[in-house]
Structure 1
Amino acid sequence: MPTTTEPHITPAVTPVSPQPERTPDPCVVVIFGASGDLTKRKLLPALYHLEQANLLPKDFAVVGVARRPLEDSFAADMKEGIVAGGGVEESDPKLDPFVDKIQYHAMNFDDASGYDALNKLLAEIDKQFGTCGNRLFYLATAPEYFSDIINFLGQHGMSKPCVGPSSDGKKNWVRTIIEKPFGHDLDSAKALNDEVNKVFDEDQIFRIDHYLGKETVQNILVFRFANGIFENVWNRNYIDHVEITAAESIGIEGRGPFYETAGALRDVVQNHVMELLSFVTMEPPVSFEASAVRAEKVKVWRAIQPIHPADTVRGQYGPGTVDGKPVIGYRQEDRVHPRSQTETYAALRLEIENWRWAGVPFYIRAGKRLAKRVTEITIQFKKPPLLLFKGKDGSKADVQPNIISMRIQPDEGITLRFGAKVPGQGMNISPVNMDFNYAESFGKSSANGYERLLLDAMLGDGTLFAHRDGVEATWALITPILKAWAEKPVKDFPNYAAGTWGPTAADALLEVEGRKWRKL
């Protein structure tokens, strides 16, 4: 949790028995774009963690699909990624049998003959591994390939399950996971949704946001709805304002061409931050089935009033110092235009016009090359209406407001700040923190968040995935800002040094209302 000189109270955590888990049907996971970094660092380690936990079906296989001829090295390379990135011992007895289930298929994504060959390979895998015709297609490619892959899967009859039950007596299924970004504005998102829905039914489509795989994000709902003490004060009567910070200390990591077309607003705010906002603000769903949760999230996004450009701030980092080392500015990064107008920082002020939240401001900030890596949600409550406590000179004591801080990453946990009397003869008040830390309470985990999402997709559970209604609702909020920014280029980029907390205009966004960003 945040470094502080304030006293701490650490609560005890009572161990509970884990709930029984469901095992998916036999299936094959087909990863398009498998030569990319995501597959080796995240997807294969996540699948192996599921294998370690006995959550994968016995009859299971993985097929990597990409353009390069990697047939001889792909499985060994994935094994290396599982060991290096998954916290796995090379001697783990389950590792080699798992790697034996990994195959590779080289093809161009726009080559029809490649899909014929892939279809034949999958039929052979069904016979070899008993995967019963069940398919999970994972699109881990650049967005420009989404349409080709989706259309060719449809044209070659690979988007629909086989007619009749599979060999294990259950109904066959075919599903697809599509990585973000899902469109680059509202019009493109609608067009892509239309294109995908021509080939796949909506319940076959799993638009993934890896943030929703994080335990700390899912815990927001548990914190709110499994604890009777918080929900009663979770509204405009008691909450002064809410802050959401998604800060990275790293730069663009060599992804110049991608980031030039994305920027912080598209890359982080439209998806990750809007999902966090919905979990914090949604009404209790009638159940935790996918349709019920999605309905409440969409209600939140549609209740957000249009965001005026005056309530937005954009920034771009210049040269600076991060972790004591000098770093270059964004415009000096590889394959970035020397006069780029792409924002690496975005801050917004918004309001949700519904009965629970009317009048409560929400402040959002996200950016690259900031002072530290931290994603945190801060709920600041209103000060007590009558300050009874006074200093010796009769002046009012500075009673700090109560705060609930949810740390999504790193040092995952929750802090509750409240006032306590300092020992002594006077009535002096000091803020103290009550801390819950995931690693201390439950042990450190090597899971990367994709485990839950991959398992849910294999099970057909779309609760933690985006629906087309939600995607279009969030783009409807963000697209007018993008248009306003495009019409009015910034003259003072770069406007914050790397290693700071962003442009000073972001501080003014709060200061004009007598508030300031929480120090993280």
Structure 2
Amino acid sequence: MARPVQRPRSGTIPSMEVATNAIRDSATFIVFGASGDLAKKKTFPALFALYRKDYLPRDVHIVGYARTKMNTEDYHRRISSYIKRDNDPNFDTKLEEFKNLSFVYSESFCRLNAHLVEIEKSYRTSNRIFYLALPPSVFIPVAKHAREECYSRGVNRIIVEKPFGKDLQSCRELLNELKKYWKEEETYRIDHYLGKEMVKNLLVLRFANITMGAGWDKNSISNVQITFKEPFGTEGRGGYFDEFGIIRDVLQNHMLQVLSILTMERPVSFSPEDIRDEKVKVLRAIPPVERKDTLLGQYVAADDKPGYLDDDTVPKDSVCPTFAATVLWIHNPRWEGVPFIMKAGKALNQAKVEVRIQFKDVTQGIFAEISRNELVVRIQPQEAVYLKLNTKSPGYAFRAIPTEMDLTYNRRFTEATIPEAYEVLILDALRGDQSNFVRDDELDVAWKIFTPILHWIDGKEGEKPKPEPYPYGSRGPATLDAFVESYGYKRTEEAYNWPTTNLSNL
């Protein structure tokens, strides 16, 4: 067994806000499902990124646990296959070090524990993080065996990936079973959107700027749209997607997390429980989504691109929605009457995730029919915040035109590197910071909001609704614009082009 690689202490977790229960000196990451796509594409690249930046503890090992038989060479090839090479002259050295810290096992849990003990025999403390990069069907048996056979005397934490159930009942069953083996404070339910830079930035934008807080309520805001667009379809993975659908895949978790941060009241502090308390409070004020507030779609073939039903893994009579727009209402003094429109879909015209807050019309009189103000937070790609407002057009004419105050990150922060969401969240798990992980009661109330509409779509309350077809590469169903506008959204009447500055005219 290889001896642990000694690394300088200067590389321990670098933060002024490190939790008191942070793992600093030593840790072993056990990645269950090491042969799967999630581990290969997200978990291992994130661990390597943290390693090369010296954000992992000084003594660290990564142990991949997989049912698929692999030798060490195959395993190392697999864990590095999605690691992006850059121009750092130390890249190859760091990658080789990372591989030397990484082992693969496919034996019993008891034998796995023996290997872990051997790896950790030079550690001062045996701290273990168990990462379940697995389908939910095996969460409980793996969590059970990890707790009963691989629990160490140091700090133990378990990271669980979504989906956390398929509806309220299955979620509660999963939560109750997991709690038999792991305490809530040891459990980290990961939703990677909570690690995205602009989602984390919502807290700063809202609570560190008095100008934002002044108009952040029903008196100033007409409507809010949270949009998730993917330009590709299921691409041969439709069989898996068909079991869940777009609402379970995106709305009930990622988009609802964004909404809760966007709408919650100011927390007492930035401690994990204070933040999550406020998220739960606002989610409890949201009634279940109604059918009349829902638009469903399914993409069809267009321009040589296959339709959803053309995927050989999808049942030919499937009415699973690949697009959904739903409207949520928050019944509290701040947000009563403001529609929150969530839109998500596959095979659309672009890749984009954004929050668009549209303010109400100005008082009529001296100005009429001018564009509404909008605050847009672009989560991806090209992170940005911009405020759309009206200004006088340059020249002799007295005319208001729309323009924007633009904070696009790659232009403003030219030297900054934005970490991947999984890097942020794994580091948070090391720190013992659960702020950006989903608490059990938060998960419960999230399923309450969506379970009735999901049961309708699943056919548990009669005939399944038939989604509206939309062409691959379009903006979505043909009725989408009318649907959104029925909740008060107003488009700019005139064509809007971002103004540019011609320096030769100055």
TM value normalised by structure 2: 0.89
Match of 1:44 in 2: 44
1:404 has 2:398 as partner: no
Query: Do the aligned partners of 1:348 and 1:365 also contact (CA within 8 Å) in 2?
Result: yes
Cα distance in 1 for residues equivalent to 2:484 and 2:232: 25
Q: Give the secondary-structure state (helix, strand or coil) at the position aligned to 1:212.
A: helix
Cα distance in 2 for residues equivalent to 1:120 and 1:78: 23
Query: Do the aligned partners of 1:507 and 1:516 also contact (CA within 8 Å) in 2?
Result: no
Query: Do the aligned partners of 1:125 and 1:131 also contact (CA within 8 Å) in 2?
Result: no
Encode CA deviations 1:75-114: one digit per residue, 9 max, x unaligned.
Answer: 2332343245x8876744322222210000114xxxxxx1
Change (3 A) 1:252 1:60: same
Mapping of 1:50-449 within 5 angstroms? 50-72=50-72, 73-84=74-85, 91-107=91-107, 114-127=108-121, 130=123, 132-156=125-149, 158-159=150-151, 161-162=152-153, 172-321=154-303, 326-389=304-367, 396=368, 398-443=369-414, 445=417, 447-449=419-421
Mapping of 1:492-503 within 5 angstroms? 493=467, 495-503=469-477
Match of 2:8 in 1: none
1:460 has 2:459 as partner: no
Cα distance in 1 for residues equivalent to 2:265 and 2:334: 9
Query: Do the aligned partners of 1:242 and 1:363 also contact (CA within 8 Å) in 2?
Result: yes
Match of 2:27 in 1: 27
Gaps of 5+ in 2: 1-13, 497-506
Gaps of 5+ in 1: 1-17, 108-113, 163-171, 390-395
Residue 489 of structure 1 deviates from its aligned partner by 4.2
Residue 24 of structure 1 deviates from its aligned partner by 3.3
Query: Do the aligned partners of 1:87 and 1:446 also contact (CA within 8 Å) in 2?
Result: no
Query: Do the aligned partners of 2:383 and 2:409 also contact (CA within 8 Å) in 1?
Result: yes
Encode CA deviations 1:184-214: one digit per residue, 9 max, x unaligned.
Answer: 1000000000000010000000000111111
Cα distance in 2 for residues equivalent to 1:349 and 1:40: 36
Q: Give the secondary-structure state (helix, strand or coil) at the position aligned to 1:356.
A: coil
Cα distance in 2 for residues equivalent to 1:418 and 1:34: 49
Change (3 A) 1:511 1:82: closer
Encode CA deviations 1:243-276: one digit per residue, 9 max, x unaligned.
Answer: 1101111111322221011100100000000000
Query: Do the aligned partners of 1:206 and 1:462 also contact (CA within 8 Å) in 2?
Result: yes
Q: Give the secondary-structure state (helix, strand or coil) at the position aligned to 2:454.
A: helix
Equivalent AA in structure 1 for residue 147 of structure 2: G
Cα distance in 1 for residues equivalent to 2:293 and 2:89: 50
Change (3 A) 1:88 1:328: farther
Encode CA deviations 1:317-346: one digit per residue, 9 max, x unaligned.
Answer: 11124xxxx210001113100111211111
Change (3 A) 1:292 1:491: closer
Change (3 A) 1:222 1:478: same
State the number of aligned residues: 473
Change (3 A) 1:79 1:495: closer
Query: Do the aligned partners of 2:296 and 2:467 also contact (CA within 8 Å) in 1?
Result: no
Query: Do the aligned partners of 1:213 and 1:449 also contact (CA within 8 Å) in 2?
Result: yes
Change (3 A) 1:119 1:83: same
Encode CA deviations 1:285-327: one digit per residue, 9 max, x unaligned.
Answer: 0011110010100111110123211111111111124xxxx21
Equivalent AA in structure 2 for residue 122 of structure 1: L
Q: Give the secondary-structure state (helix, strand or coil) at the position aligned to 1:320.
A: coil
Match of 1:509 in 2: 483
Change (3 A) 1:87 1:315: farther
TM value normalised by structure 1: 0.87
Residue 116 of structure 1 deviates from its aligned partner by 0.5
Q: Alignment RMSD, CA only?
A: 2.1
Cα distance in 1 for residues equivalent to 2:375 and 2:307: 35
- Percent identical among aligned pairs is 38
Change (3 A) 1:88 1:271: farther
